[in-house]
Chains A and B, each alone.
Chain A
Amino acid sequence: MKLDTESRGKNYANYGLYEIKEELALFFPSVEIRIKRKDESNFSYLRKDPEGKIAEKIVPVQGESMKIEVAPIRPLNYPAHRTNFIYLKFDQEVFLSENATTSFLVRCPVEIGVFLVHDSHKDSMDWFTCDPSQSRFGLYGAPDTGNLCKFYKVPIVKNEFDSIPFHNCVMRLNFENLLGRGYPITKAIFPITDHFLYYKDNKAQLDSLDVTLRKRMIIEYVETAERRLENIDWTKSPSWEKDTETPSMEMGLE
C-alpha cells in the first residue's frame, strides 16, 4: 500500500464517526490513515506518521462494516506515557492584582485517538500526534519532589474556535488571587486526566480549569479544580485514562 501524504494538499478529514465498508483514506497534517477490507471478516489498518514510521495492523470485525471514531485525546502519550500532568507556559505574562479574578483562553495541545466502535464500546485502537516536535517534558518543582509534566509553550487566544486543527484545542482558565498581593501568572500545571475533550468538525475544546492562589498562614499555594463544559453542542471524546482520584489539588507556588 503506497502512501502519498504530500500530494493530498490540505483536504484533511474531520473528527467524528466513520463507517468503512470497503476502503477509507483519512488525511491529517503529516499523517495519513488507510483502512481497507482484507477479507470477509478482517480489515487492514495502516498509518504513516510525521517521522515516516508506518504502523500496520489487522482488525477483525463482526458484521459487514468497520466503524471507527477519530477524536482528539489528551496529549500524554508521545513520546511515552510518563505522567498525567500538563505544564502550560503562557507566551505572555498575566499580572493578577490582589483579590482580582480573570479568565482567558489558551491553546492546549492534543493528540488524536482512533477508536474502534463495536456494540456500545469504543476501544482505543491507535493514537498519534500531528506535531511530535512540540511534545516534550518539563518539571514543576524541585528535581527530588517536583512533578514531571508534559510541557508546552502556549499562546493566549480570543475564542474557543481559535485552535489549529489536529494540533491543539482551546481551554478556558479562570484565575482568582487570594494571596493578599499581586502575582504574575506565567503558567498552569494540572492533572489533565480530570479534563474531557470535546470536538466539532476539526476543532476541539477542553474542560475549563479553575485556579485559586491562596495563602494559609505564611504558606502560599495554588489550588486547581476542573470545571466541566456545559450546554455545548460539541461531541465528547472517548478516553481510556483513569481519572485522577481527587478532582482538585494543591501545589506549592513556585
Chain B
Amino acid sequence: MFEEFFSQLESFEIAGSEFSLFSLIIGGIIMLVGIVIARIARIIFNKYYAPVLPEHTAKNFGKMIYFGIIIIAFLVFVTTTGIDFTGLVMAGGILGIVIGFATQSVVSNLLSGIFLLIEKPAKQGDSIELPDSNISGSFVDVGTFSSRVRKFDGTIMRIPNEKFFTSNIRVLTDSPVRRHETMIGIAYKEDIDAAIEVLKKTISARMPFVLHEPEPEFRIEELGDSSVNILILVWHPKQDWGKVAPVLLKIAKNALDDVGIEIPFPQRVIWNGDKPKE
C-alpha cells in the first residue's frame, strides 16, 4: 500500500515546478538539521561566549547566529528541491502590494527594530526615559516588532519599535556620574553663607555617595515671596540615584533645623473689613 502511495506521489507539480517526494524528504531533513544546528550553535554561544560580551551584544549575536543558520538551511532546501520561486513571485506580486498596505505598520516596526539594533541608542539594563511618552525605566531589549522597557514600578512597557525609534530617548546611565538638584528656602533674616556652610558640611558627612570632586554646588536661585531659595547641585555615581535624590532634601532640611535656621512657608494674613457689632 505504501509502495503504491509513494509511486503515485513520486513526482508532482506545484506552481509549474516538478518535485519528487524524495527531494522533498531530503529538503525536510535539511531544514530539520538546520534548525537543530542553529539551536545547538545558539546554546554553545550562550554558554561559552555570551557571558564575556555585553548583554545586549550577546543577545543580538545569538539572534544573528540562529536566524543566519536557518536562512542558510532554507537556501540549501530550496536548491535541493529545485523550487522555482519565479511563478510564486509573479503570482504574489499583486497580493504583495495588498498585503504591503495592510501590514505597513508591521513592516515599519520590523525595519525600525533593525535600525535600533544597528544604532543601539541604549544598552540592555540602561535606565532610560522617553520624555514624549512619559515613560522611564530600565531598557530590556529590542524585539522583532516592539521594544520593552521595565518601568521602575516593576511592570513591563511594550513600545512599538517605530515609536521607540522616532522618540527622544534620554539615557540616564550612560555617563559614569549624574547630577541631582533640589531647592530649599531659608528666611530672609538668615545668614546665607552660614546656611550654605551647614548644608555643605552635612552633605559631606552624611551622604557617602555624593561626589567630593566636583564638589556640591550651592546657588541662590531666587529671592522668592517668602524665602531665599538655594539650589543644591550634587553629583553621584550613575547607579546611586536612589541613595541620593530621595534623601537630599530631607537631610538638608534636618541640617537647617538642627542649627535653628528658619525654613519659611507662605503665610497670608486676612483682615476682615467689617467692624464687629458691639
Contacts and interface: CB of A to CB of B under 8 A. Distances in A.
B213 A80 contact: no
Given A82-B239, A133-B205, A139-B235, A144 B212 contact: no
A143 B208 contact: no
A132 interface: yes
B209 interface: yes
B214 interface: yes
B176 A138 contact: no
Counting chain A residues whose Cβ lies within 8 A of the other chain, the interface size class is 20 to 34
Interface string A154-177: 000000000000000000000000
A148 B208 contact: no
B82 interface: no
Interface in B176-226: 176-177, 179, 204-205, 208-214
Contact of B174 (A82, A144, A151): A144
Contacts of B237: 82-83, 137, 148
Contact of A146 (B177, B204, B210, B239): B177
A78 B208 contact: yes
- List the 3 closest pairs (A to B, CB-CB), nearest first: A138-B213, A79-B208, A148-B176
Interface residues of B, number: 19
Contacts of B208: 78-79, 132, 135-136
Classify the secondary structure of A's interface with B.
Answer: mixed
Interface in B223-253: 235-237, 239-240
B175 interface: yes
Given A133-B205, A137-B236, A143-B175, 7 more contacts: A82-B239, A89-B213, A138-B213, A139-B211, A139-B213, A148-B176, A151-B212
Given A82-B239, A143-B235, A137 B175 contact: no
Interface of B: 174-177, 179, 204-205, 208-214, 235-237, 239-240
Interface of A: 78-80, 82-83, 87, 89, 132-133, 135-140, 143-148, 151
A129 to B, nearest CB: 10
Contact of B211 (A80, A133, A147, A151): A151
A139 B176 contact: yes
26 contacts: A78-B208, A79-B209, A80-B209, A82-B239, A82-B240, A87-B213, A89-B213, A133-B205, A135-B208, A136-B210, A137-B209, A137-B210, A137-B212, A137-B237, A139-B177, A139-B213, A139-B235, A143-B177, A144-B175, A146-B177, A148-B176, A148-B177, A148-B237, A151-B211, A151-B212, A151-B213
Contacts of A140: 213
Nearest to B236: A137
Contacts of B239: 82
A35 B113 CA distance: 58
Given A79-B208, A137-B212, A151-B212, A143 B174 contact: no
Given A133-B205, A137-B237, A148-B237, A143 B179 contact: yes
B252 to A, nearest CB: 18
Contacts of B209: 79-80, 137
Nearest to B178: A143
Contacts of A147: 176
A146 B176 contact: yes
B51 to A, nearest CB: 15
A137 B211 contact: yes
A133 B213 CA distance: 15
A83 to B, nearest CB: 8
A109 to B, nearest CB: 13
A132 B209 CA distance: 12
